[in-house]
Structure 1
Amino acid sequence: MDLHKILQSPPSKRRRLSEPDTQGGFQPCPATSSSAYQNGINTLQTKNLELEYQAEWKEAIHDIESMCCYGTVSIDRSDSVTSINGRCDHSGTLTSEFSVELETHERFTGADHPAMRGIIEPQHGPLIHGLLSETSLRLCVTCTTETESMPRRLKSAASQVPCTLSITVYGPMDLLDEIGDWFQSRNVYLQDPIASHFDVPYCNPHRLSSIDLGSCSRLVDVVSESSRLLHFQDVPERPDILDLITGQDDLDETEPPETIRTGLHRHQKQALTFMLGRELGWNLYNDVPDLWEVYDNSTDRVFINRINDSHQREPPQSFSGGLVADPMGLGKTLTMIALVATDLNDPKLGRGSLNAGEDDRPTVNATLIIVPQPLLSTWEQQISEHVLPGAMRSCRHHGKDRIGHIQDIAGMNIVLTTYHTLSADWSNNNDARRIMFSVRWRRIILDEAHLIRNMKTRMARALCNLEATSRWAVTGTPIQNHLSDLSGLLKFIRAYPYDDTKTFGADFTSLWKAHDDRKAVHRLRYLASCLILRRSKTAIKLPARHDVKCQVEFSKDERKLYDDVRHQAIRKIEDALVNDMEVARSGLFVNFLQQIESMRLVCDLGLHYHTRHDAQKPQKITDWAAVAQDTFNLQREISTLACSQCSVILNTSAYAPEDGQPQENPCYSRCLKYACAECSSKLRQAGQRMVCGHTPRCPIASVSLDESAAESSQNHGVQLSSRSLIIPIPAKVKALISDLKRLRPGTKSIVFSSWRLTLDVVEAGLNEAGICNLRFDGRVSHAQRQPILDKFRTNAHANVLLITLQCGAVGLTLTEASRAYLMEPHWNPTVEEQALARIHRIGQTQEVTTVRFYIRDSFEEKIIAAQDAKKNLANILFSGHDGLVVDDSHSALYKLRELI
């Protein structure tokens, strides 16, 4: 029987999609439950019917002139794609992916291995039975086994393993509407196929905006493009030193004050218990372990440090506060607001009072909350959202809204300010600008407290000079690079004796250096149990998050361009080795950094990155001011920068310009030495220049720390005339567009990149593909940012937000999105995680998928490896630029050549 006869067969033999079907065939209604389905069908009759329909199709398969491919019920772990799960026999002769044939709605066999049998999970029965019942359809099925999780002893023996089925559906074009409606009624959306079984048009009913069959591409072309671009792999979870101190899961729960109108989660109520207990001071006499313990005998009293077992006769210095180090996304802001609200129930803390305090400083009953400038509005919004109207009073101390008199603090529960505001106030000799330092606060809360982990900075010194009854440091990343990061936070909260960095180093850091890991971990855990609140993300039931990386292939022309840039970098290194150049002074490191940046940009921009290296001769960096910013951006991304004058570590994430206030910029030399803004200012005032250690001195230029400058990179190298037209589309952007089109309609997605240039190209590609998108980067004013986020949240058509990592890593809540893309790997995985945590946090109701793009066989693979190897490239390039002797032995160049 041919295809035409099947389509014309009577209803008793073949039911049309629009007709009622009590047997589970194509009918536009929701799928029934597995139990109801099984109870309503005679199993034997169903199997015979399915086998009969399959036989009819096999007779008619030769006639494919009117066929098309509708798409694939595909394998994917995101919530946008349906997975068909089952189990199958496995032997060592089978690959992890192979073709199978459906015998019934519940069983299948291997196409090339009939002895291989498998079963399908019952919940998929109605869907598959409906497909098999429609004899005009051809189903091509691929089985993928999950053998990686199998014990090794079972892989070579016959065994049954979990598997998933991918079903590509072919059929007549005249059923296109009915096919689309039927699948959509079952909440299934057909995906792009990854294999072409027949040379037919590809007409996906869930992709076509209008039924224009003449616009359908050939399936072989679609599959070729898709298979070339999209190769997904799971991203393994990276270990974190903070996993060693995760705990405090057995705390009692404290209900929040009645003024908090938002319900707290269990872990937040436990946090309230921890913080209220910690604000009572050292627990010297209770059975609950604390850092200090008192011991009395018949003749004496001693105080014992339970970390190092030392003892002293004097009581330890008083202490109230601690560290809240829960991961990003667990609602630390609401928890801290609830802590402040507990003061309202304390009769000793009446509103509006100024009391005499220590050191002639009046004590105020307000909590001072210090945040990065972008978070000021976020905190105000959170207070308004979670606190009953009129229950708490708050104000800003920032910019033109600075508090001018101590009496202005009276009656306030919360005063919000920024790190840089207080740093500027502390450095000002005007007493009117030092009001924040002239009182003793009820409580100080540092949000994003890791910004002061280096106590040598002016900002950290300023904040440590604030006085308060209780002190709290709040950060999801208390340890970013080194264990010593923790010592700066302990100094701020004044946790004696570890407010002294030398004592911390002797009791903790020295053990790591001596490889006494067991003792170091034991001490760290005990310290954490006393002073640090840290829970894992499992403390709250968030929807699952699935991280994948997507390998992308260059086009032929892109590969040639990339190889040319790479070979130029290698030639420059070889020239330096042959000519025995003095690397640091010659500007060669600058050239190498630029070449590395060029390779990374080619990966993103493809042929829209334009370079004229073939027509240029190797040259020295003469106009240093023109290239200093780009070089500085890359070095601070790769490595830790220390001021050559005062050794203070650069903290770019803490930078935020004060409104209307002139800002000092750091200095940066061609030999890659850096002087912080404070030292640069002192040098300028003294009429001196930064010392780089070379004679004559290397060229020096001023560089900017603001987010807009950090997003720029080699603008002179890119030719993009319009963000609305981009031909040819770069390989990564093609991959992004292809994956966005796979998603269920209405899915909100975030696209992250380090550079505005990349987002320019992505924006142009999305516009050309007809995908509505919004833009959020350093050039967007603070007044425009919230309206953009509101539009992304509420507009049903604006489903893609393009955002730079500098803007997206702090202070945003983007839980409307369920999919995130990183256009390139970042040297610092913490920066990536901070951005992704904007999506996967409290308030997220959907499963989240994150996709990390990278180009196969490119320098991006080295960056991914460096994320786990702790920046091995930084060790090669910059070992001599943090106060050490510069390595001019050229061994670094040999290593760099091998790496590139």
Structure 2
Amino acid sequence: MTRPSQKDLLPGLEVRLLPHQAIGVAWMLKREKSQDKGGILADDMGLGKTVQMIATMAMNLPGDDEEARTTLIVVPCRASPAGARAGRIFGNFLTFGIQWKEEIESKTNDMFSVRLHHGKDKLKKPSEIKDYDVVITTYQTLSIDFHVPKDVVDAGGEAQYLAKHGGVLARSRFYRAICDEAQYIRNRGTKASLSLAHVRAKYRWMLTGTPVTNTLADIYGLLRFGRFRPWNDWNSFNEHVARVQLEDAPLAGQRAQVILKPLLLRRTKNSTLEGKPILTLPPKDIEIVKLKFTDEEREIYDSFEKRSKISLNRFIRAGTLVKNHAAVLVMILRLRQLCCHPHLILSIAEGQGFGDPTLLLGSDAEKERGRAVKLMGKPWVEAVLRRFLIRASAGELLDDEDEADADSANCPVCKDLILGDNGRVLPCGHEICFDCTLDLSNSAIAHDGIFGEGNEKQNLAAEKAYEEAAAKGLRPCPHMQEDDGPQHARSKREVKRPKYRWGDDVKVRADPQKAFELRRVDSDDDDDMPEFPMFGSLLKKEEKEESISMAKKGKKKAPSPRKRKAGDDDEDVDMPSDAVISNWGRGDDDLEPSTKMLAMMQLLKEWEASGDKTICYSQWTSMLDLIEILFSRHGIRSLRFDGKMDRAQRDSVLATFKRAGGPKVILISTKCGSVGLNLVAANRIINMDLRYLGIQQANIKPTIGRIESAKDKDVWVKRLVVENTIEERMLKLQEVKSGLSDAALGEGTGGSLHKMSVKDLKQLFGMVPVDR
């Protein structure tokens, strides 16, 4: 394929490609004719990965003799709590899925029949899949369709099981499989990554702007899906790249670059074609705005940071840093929140969050905890809370782009997502959704089918236990019934003990993220611990108790001051005065604006005369709540875009923001609006907080990129950072992450690629100076 002129239309397309996009399509068609039959398109955000993929689909249609003619597109999905409670799934699937559908239909003049396969709109039979040219689904739905029982996995019979018992996607063949935002499958242990590896397709494509996020091991999930031999075998890749990274980072980066070079095409906005930039954009000014705390904010921050240092130092001295990863993650979260506004900490459990840095649940949850203690007892509640503490810290603090595993994110009975407060924890410890608890309470009370398995005495005892449970209105846990069906022999003790009850369900804030677990580390030396953002590696079942014990240790408060020893970092830590805590703990109309909020207001005042529109990003919706209070005080009209809104509400907000004369400011939660969002009305951005990974901070650029498409105004980005805080130290670590990605993509030397050591953590907490 020769590169057409900008006046030419490719066959099947209704839009003209830019020169670099035409080159990309030519490369993709060449890859589909190669032995690998696919590859990785890793162009920078805003360069048109979607339109290049659509053009490739239009240029290489299935022939009449093709067994499979359908293209499968897999996109991210996160549903909002509001959607979950309403029985509907909203969220980024509506952003990604519908955007893909509209792009395909508009750019090809309805050449392809497109179907969204998700929620209640899922197709039922493989024959129905064949009725469509394109089927768009989510990583979540894919994981459910490709679920394989553990005993089958252990026996190595996944393919046979899926062909017979898998969902409709698992029993179908596809002409082409497209993995959008492919960084979602970088973790080789997640069900999304494993499920995609089992998809049967002739051509395989991955679209991502960040193929490497944490470590070079991220690449393996992509290589496995693409079936790029021999690197789709973990042992080969681990021996050649992943393991080498620990000892010789530059060499590992060079090896990864050699592997990716023929498989991956990447252009950045700084790339040139025939001596000219491939994309001409208006100037973009990204500035890190350094701020200084007020005296009271500094008093609160320093007090909490000193407490955190003491806790971290104890973990290091005791050799339990890895085991206490959840507590460390929570301390990082709290310090970052303090940089935005002390209220984010002081409001937690009526101020208890300041003294206990591992406390994640809010005051509403505290009330539910009290009810649960009364019903089930304190040990049971503590075990459940530890599990959710680990889960919440994983979802809140680490890179949140991993799709939730099907079993963890879905009700085991109806398979719907469990989000927000829609989960119910049964006394057995299993979690099901609210609708299924209602069905369970209204179901007939029937025995579990195990009478008659023992002798007469045992059978009578089992029947008596059942009758007593039935008289109390108790039902068996449906999840346990599924696990322990008649085909599995159960012990006599299990028969006699009613394990599953409905009557006393406990309402717990449920996060879709998988419970955070640790990987066993061979070395006891904390300097050899795994990379910090990868603390969430899966733990073997026999290690779960150790993980729970770890979370319990993390919740303990620092002991009372003791006599200092030589070399001991512990010291007396003064709590802020009651007046200071009271002043900054208010989140109502008497709110005290923080340093960052005042800086934001100053920027908006300076920009007012320009008439430009502004996006304010924050990772925490509670921070957006505080900003709205301040805006109301000063009469500033604003809009809000977050995960609690359904599709119609989001469309209405975006339409209002784009309209001339509408509000000039929109508040967007980073998780909800950092990817897949088209905004051309704004050309100014304020980042209220930093994401932990620099690469993820760059993911706000899809919006910036769409802003730049207007091409008529300069783009201004202000990143607010408080001096002498964890934020300043995070910036240094973000540079490390960028160097890691550059090493694999051939955009740097890879010299800064390394794992997170104890020294790095000490630098993050300000215990030692940050290396320059």
Same fold (TM over 0.5): yes
Residue 380 of structure 1: aligned partner = 101
- Among residues 829, 844, 862, which one is paired with 2:694 in the alignment? 829
Give the conservation status (yes or no) of the 8 Å contact 1:260–1:341: yes
In structure 2, relative to structure 1, the CA distance for the partners of 1:689 and 1:413 (3 Å cut) is same
In structure 2, relative to structure 1, the CA distance for the partners of 1:652 and 1:613 (3 Å cut) is same
Displacement after TM superposition at 1:325 (Å): 0.8
Residue 531 of structure 1: aligned partner = 263
Residue 750 of structure 2: aligned partner = none
Question: 1:530 aligns to what SS in structure 2?
Answer: coil
1:461 and 2:461 correspond: no
1:415 and 2:135 correspond: yes
Question: 1:435 aligns to what SS in structure 2?
Answer: coil
1:843 and 2:709 correspond: yes
Give the conservation status (yes or no) of the 8 Å contact 2:21–2:52: yes
CA distance in 1: counterparts of 2:252 and 2:727, whole angstroms: 38
Structure 1: gaps spanning 5 or more residues: 1-247, 283-318, 350-354, 358-362, 642-648, 702-715, 873-883
Displacement after TM superposition at 1:893 (Å): 7.8
In structure 2, relative to structure 1, the CA distance for the partners of 1:440 and 1:391 (3 Å cut) is same
CA distance in 1: counterparts of 2:123 and 2:352, whole angstroms: 60
CA distance in 1: counterparts of 2:550 and 2:544, whole angstroms: 12
Residue 719 of structure 2: aligned partner = 852
In structure 2, relative to structure 1, the CA distance for the partners of 1:778 and 1:330 (3 Å cut) is same
In structure 2, relative to structure 1, the CA distance for the partners of 1:513 and 1:796 (3 Å cut) is same
- Among residues 674, 682, 692, which one is paired with 2:546 in the alignment? 692
Displacement after TM superposition at 1:404 (Å): 2.1
CA distance in 2: counterparts of 1:660 and 1:801, whole angstroms: 35
Question: 1:690 aligns to what SS in structure 2?
Answer: helix
Displacement after TM superposition at 1:632 (Å): 5.0
- Among residues 848, 851, 861, which one is paired with 2:728 in the alignment? 861
Q: Which residues of 2 match residues 203-214 of structure 1 at below 5 A?
A: none
Question: 1:262 aligns to what SS in structure 2?
Answer: coil
- Among residues 264, 268, 273, which one is paired with 2:26 in the alignment? 273
Displacement after TM superposition at 1:266 (Å): 1.0
CA distance in 2: counterparts of 1:615 and 1:508, whole angstroms: 42
CA distance in 1: counterparts of 2:60 and 2:354, whole angstroms: 69
CA distance in 1: counterparts of 2:179 and 2:13, whole angstroms: 21
Name the amino acid aligned to 1:661.
D
Q: Which range moves more in the overlay, 487-496 or 595-604?
A: 595-604
In structure 2, relative to structure 1, the CA distance for the partners of 1:747 and 1:625 (3 Å cut) is farther
- Among residues 593, 597, 605, which one is paired with 2:341 in the alignment? 605
Give the conservation status (yes or no) of the 8 Å contact 1:364–1:409: no
Q: Which range moves more in the overlay, 649-658 or 474-483?
A: 649-658
In structure 2, relative to structure 1, the CA distance for the partners of 1:839 and 1:605 (3 Å cut) is same
Displacement after TM superposition at 1:804 (Å): 1.4
Give the conservation status (yes or no) of the 8 Å contact 2:399–2:696: no
Displacement after TM superposition at 1:784 (Å): 2.3
Name the amino acid aligned to 1:531.
L
- Listed one character per residue, the Cα deviations across residues 536-580 of structure 1 (whole Å, up to 9, x for unaligned) are 213211222211011122223222322333344455567889xx8
- Listed one character per residue, the Cα deviations across residues 809-851 of structure 1 (whole Å, up to 9, x for unaligned) are 2221223221111112221112211113322246242321111
In structure 2, relative to structure 1, the CA distance for the partners of 1:421 and 1:631 (3 Å cut) is closer
Give the conservation status (yes or no) of the 8 Å contact 1:666–1:676: no
Residue 47 of structure 2: aligned partner = 330
Displacement after TM superposition at 1:495 (Å): 2.0
In structure 2, relative to structure 1, the CA distance for the partners of 1:583 and 1:741 (3 Å cut) is same
Residue 525 of structure 2: aligned partner = none
Q: Which residues of 2 match residues 440-519 of structure 1 at below 5 A?
A: 440-509=173-242, 515=248, 517=250
CA distance in 1: counterparts of 2:329 and 2:134, whole angstroms: 46
Give the conservation status (yes or no) of the 8 Å contact 1:552–1:732: yes
In structure 2, relative to structure 1, the CA distance for the partners of 1:456 and 1:383 (3 Å cut) is same
CA distance in 2: counterparts of 1:391 and 1:438, whole angstroms: 26
Residue 898 of structure 1: aligned partner = 767
Give the conservation status (yes or no) of the 8 Å contact 1:752–1:805: yes
CA distance in 2: counterparts of 1:490 and 1:667, whole angstroms: 27
Displacement after TM superposition at 1:652 (Å): 5.9
Q: Which range moves more in the overlay, 463-472 or 555-564?
A: 555-564
In structure 2, relative to structure 1, the CA distance for the partners of 1:597 and 1:867 (3 Å cut) is same
CA distance in 2: counterparts of 1:831 and 1:520, whole angstroms: 20
Displacement after TM superposition at 1:602 (Å): 2.5
CA distance in 2: counterparts of 1:837 and 1:696, whole angstroms: 38
Q: Which range moves more in the overlay, 542-551 or 840-849?
A: 840-849
- Listed one character per residue, the Cα deviations across residues 514-541 of structure 1 (whole Å, up to 9, x for unaligned) are 64847963x6555444221111213211
In structure 2, relative to structure 1, the CA distance for the partners of 1:614 and 1:396 (3 Å cut) is closer
CA distance in 2: counterparts of 1:436 and 1:251, whole angstroms: 36
1:397 and 2:117 correspond: yes
CA distance in 1: counterparts of 2:147 and 2:353, whole angstroms: 52
Q: Which range moves more in the overlay, 255-264 or 759-768?
A: 255-264
TM-score of the pair, normalised by structure 2: 0.62
Name the amino acid aligned to 1:729.
P
Displacement after TM superposition at 1:488 (Å): 2.1
Q: Which has the larger radius of gyration?
A: 1
Give the conservation status (yes or no) of the 8 Å contact 2:39–2:264: yes
Residue 734 of structure 1: aligned partner = 598
Residue 564 of structure 1: aligned partner = 303
TM-score of the pair, normalised by structure 1: 0.54
Which structure has greater helix proportion? 2
In structure 2, relative to structure 1, the CA distance for the partners of 1:456 and 1:660 (3 Å cut) is closer
1:551 and 2:290 correspond: yes
Give the conservation status (yes or no) of the 8 Å contact 1:370–1:447: yes
Structure 2: gaps spanning 5 or more residues: 78-91, 149-160, 271-277, 360-377, 419-511, 522-532, 556-581, 740-754
CA distance in 1: counterparts of 2:518 and 2:186, whole angstroms: 28
Displacement after TM superposition at 1:732 (Å): 0.8
Residue 171 of structure 2: aligned partner = 438
Give the conservation status (yes or no) of the 8 Å contact 1:827–1:871: no
- Listed one character per residue, the Cα deviations across residues 299-335 of structure 1 (whole Å, up to 9, x for unaligned) are xxxxxxxxxxxxxxxxxxxx31111111111111111
In structure 2, relative to structure 1, the CA distance for the partners of 1:758 and 1:433 (3 Å cut) is same
TM-align CA RMSD: 4.7
Name the amino acid aligned to 2:263.
L
Give the conservation status (yes or no) of the 8 Å contact 1:326–1:534: yes
Residue 423 of structure 2: aligned partner = none
Displacement after TM superposition at 1:769 (Å): 2.1
CA distance in 2: counterparts of 1:756 and 1:793, whole angstroms: 22
CA distance in 1: counterparts of 2:220 and 2:177, whole angstroms: 18
- Listed one character per residue, the Cα deviations across residues 203-255 of structure 1 (whole Å, up to 9, x for unaligned) are xxxxxxxxxxxxxxxxxxxxxxxxxxxxxxxxxxxxxxxxxxxxx9x977796
Give the conservation status (yes or no) of the 8 Å contact 1:606–1:731: no
Question: 1:752 aligns to what SS in structure 2?
Answer: strand
Displacement after TM superposition at 1:494 (Å): 1.7
- Listed one character per residue, the Cα deviations across residues 351-394 of structure 1 (whole Å, up to 9, x for unaligned) are xxxx6x7xxxxx22121111113211221222233221x42211
CA distance in 1: counterparts of 2:281 and 2:122, whole angstroms: 40
Name the amino acid aligned to 2:282.
P
Give the conservation status (yes or no) of the 8 Å contact 1:396–1:402: yes
Which structure has greater strand proportion? 1
Residue 661 of structure 1: aligned partner = 416
Report how many aligned residue pairs link the two structures.
557
Q: Which range moves more in the overlay, 652-661 or 809-818?
A: 652-661
In structure 2, relative to structure 1, the CA distance for the partners of 1:615 and 1:694 (3 Å cut) is closer
Name the amino acid aligned to 2:303.
D
Q: Which residues of 2 match residues 25-36 of structure 1 at below 5 A?
A: none
Give the conservation status (yes or no) of the 8 Å contact 1:398–1:418: yes
In structure 2, relative to structure 1, the CA distance for the partners of 1:393 and 1:760 (3 Å cut) is same
- Among residues 132, 135, 146, which one is paired with 1:426 in the alignment? 146
Give the conservation status (yes or no) of the 8 Å contact 2:678–2:703: yes
- Among residues 40, 47, 59, which one is paired with 1:342 in the alignment? 59
